[in-house]
Structure 1
Amino acid sequence: MKKVSRKKFSAEFKAKVSLEALKEQKTLAELAVQYDLHPTQ
């Protein structure tokens, strides 16, 4: 069996997504789709 590797996100990417989430212009689900993330992360 192959071990599934986890995605590693840069601090810059995390900050960008976090700031966009704080603006509340899109739902978290929409942001998750846009940035290829799981909605509960």
Structure 2
Amino acid sequence: MDALTFEQETEHLSPIVVVATIALIAVFVVGLIYQAVGLAV
């Protein structure tokens, strides 16, 4: 039952997962840029 419920909920959770993933990638990229600037200076 849990598996079926999760599959049905997946469509509802997809936008949240996408936004969270984009946010994590953005933070990671900002961190890399910050480190690059720190090394350059």
Shorter-normalised TM range: 0.3 to 0.5
Name the TM-score, length of structure 2 as normaliser.
0.33
Structure with more contact order per residue of length (Cα contacts < 8 Å, sep ≥ 6): 1
Name the TM-score, length of structure 1 as normaliser.
0.33
Larger radius of gyration: 2
- Greater helix share, structure number: 2
